[in-house]
Amino acid sequence: MPHQVALTISARIRPGQAGDLKRLLASMADPAANRAIPFERLGTTHFARLFVLDEVDAAPNGGTGAVIPASLVYMSDIDAPIWRHLVALVRIGGARLDAVFGHCEGWPSSSAATWPRVAWLRARRIKTDIVYVNTVGRSVTQVHGERRLRQAIEEFLDGKQAEWHGSDPVRIHTAIRQFVAGRSDLRWALQPAPGPGLAFRVRSKLHKVGGALLVLLFSPLLLALLPVWAVLLRRHERRDVPDEPIPPGRERLRELADLEDHVVQNPLTAVGVAKPGRFRFLTMLAVLRLINYFTRHVFNHGSLARVRSIHFARWVAIDDRRRLIFASSYDGSLESYMDEFIDKVAWGLNAVFSNGVGYPRTRWLVLDGANDERAFKAFLRNRQIPTQVWYSAYDELSTSNIENNAAIRAGLTGAEAPSRAEAEAWLARL
């Protein structure tokens, strides 16, 4: 069973073509236009998005050499390996992929073979600083298979409602298990879902142990430097200039709202400029490394510090770490999503986003900041960019739906019959 990977590709757009590319992406997002890249045919893509980052001056007070050219960003949450995804993307994307990346510098001509294009994409891959996966090891195939399993069981029960009325829950569970065993297309569900492969588990364990040992090894030095860092942090925080808490204009909000709430899930893409200076750079780097450690080894099964509505999320530093992208695919509305973050992990938002220009004022890196709800929501909305193309492999399933389907499958895998209470609890999931 594969693990999941966050793929980010950033390509510089040819001068003067950013507007044309935005219009093309907007047309691809319109189902009636029938111009979308067929991500569903790739088979291993959970979520994917394409968007344009406009040319920007990354120096808040001006400066030479601070202009960052416009770029096209492709992000996808996929089942490993990456090379297989890129090969399938090039081969299946075909002319539609050409139409998009043809606006970028150096894209091979339409007559080029598959591998030069794959190499072009790989050369523009950017390392992701923080990756959050709701449940590591749960593939696209597994999500679809467990959804079909639940639907088949419900149809089986619906066809014999009179027979099941008042029946013993253990008897019903046994009948369902026999039904599944008798279906060649469902028999796989009687086996536990496999986890990630051995190589991934070994690498993950080495990373977990190695990271902890590294912190332990350097803990005397870190403790000695902590007072100095704290003094410098407060000095910088007092000098920070937060944005006025004014949300974007009505037209901008309408543009963003038009792309939201079409299915169970929504995408959020936001980009900000990092605060200048080596101190902020090193602080941001340390925070990203620390949070990535916890999302990789602690928050890897259904919850990001008690926030359960997120399918995938990532933070990516781009443009020589002058800008930071936050991208996520989540359930529900953006308003409820922001509220949940503020209520449960405001400290985490502060630790990362306070290193960005204009963020609400913080204390000691993790206090205040996002707790000013009005200021935080205005900050995020003003840095949100339209996700012109966004794909979900299972846009009718929330994280709780997916987890419930997995639990239904798990309830069929035991060698022994469940107790009456266990059978009742399991049937309640249907």
**What is 198-241 written as a DSSP string?**
HHHHHHHHHHHHHHHHHHHHHHHHHHHHHHHHHHHHHHHHHH--
How many degrees, rounded to 5, is the angle at CA 196 between CA 195 and CA 200?
Answer: 150
| pLDDT for residue 138 is more than 90 | yes
Share of the chain above pLDDT 70, in %: 96
Strand ranges (E), 301-361: 310-318, 323-331
Q: Edge-to-edge strands of the sheet including 130-133?
A: 130-133, 310-318, 323-331, 265-273
- pLDDT of 323-369, one tens digit each? 999 999 999 999 999 999 899 989 999 999 999 999 999 999 999 99
| pLDDT for residue 116 is more than 50 | yes
| Per-residue burial over 55-90, b = 16 or more CB atoms within 10 Å of its CB, e = otherwise | ebebbeeeeeeeebebbbbbbbbbbbebeebbbbbb
Instruction: Provide the whole-model pTM.
Output: 0.94
Phi/psi at 203 (5° precision): -60, -40
Share of the chain above pLDDT 90, in %: 76
Supply the mean pLDDT for the chain: 91
**Secondary structure element (H or E) that encloses residue 73, with its range:** strand 71-79
pLDDT band for position 30 (50/70/90)?
Answer: confident
What pLDDT is stored for residue 181 in this prediction?
A: 93
What pLDDT is stored for residue 11 in this prediction?
A: 96
The mean-pLDDT minimum among 71-85, 223-237, 292-306 falls in: 292-306
- Distance in angstroms (rounded) separating the CA atoms of residues 143 and 270: 28
Q: Contact, 59 vs 66, CB < 8 A?
A: yes
- Distance in angstroms (rounded) separating the CA atoms of residues 29 and 36: 7
Domain ranges (residues) in the chain: 4-136+196-392, 140-192+398-427
- Distance in angstroms (rounded) separating the CA atoms of residues 289 and 329: 22
What is the SS3 assignment for 301? strand
- pLDDT of 141-152, one tens digit each? 999 999 999 999
- pLDDT of 151-194, one tens digit each? 999 999 887 776 777 788 899 999 999 999 999 999 999 999 98
- pLDDT of 10-27, one tens digit each? 999 999 999 999 999 999
- pLDDT of 33-45, one tens digit each? 677 899 999 999 9
Owner of token pair 């040819």: 14
Q: Contact, 389 vs 381, CB < 8 A?
A: no
| pLDDT for residue 395 is more than 50 | yes
- What sign has the CA pseudo-torsion 81, 129, 372, 259? negative
- pLDDT of 207-232, one tens digit each? 999 999 998 999 999 999 999 999 99
What pLDDT is stored for residue 62 in this prediction?
A: 47
- Distance in angstroms (rounded) separating the CA atoms of residues 247 and 245: 6
Composition of the chain by helix, strand, coil, percent to 5: 50, 20, 30
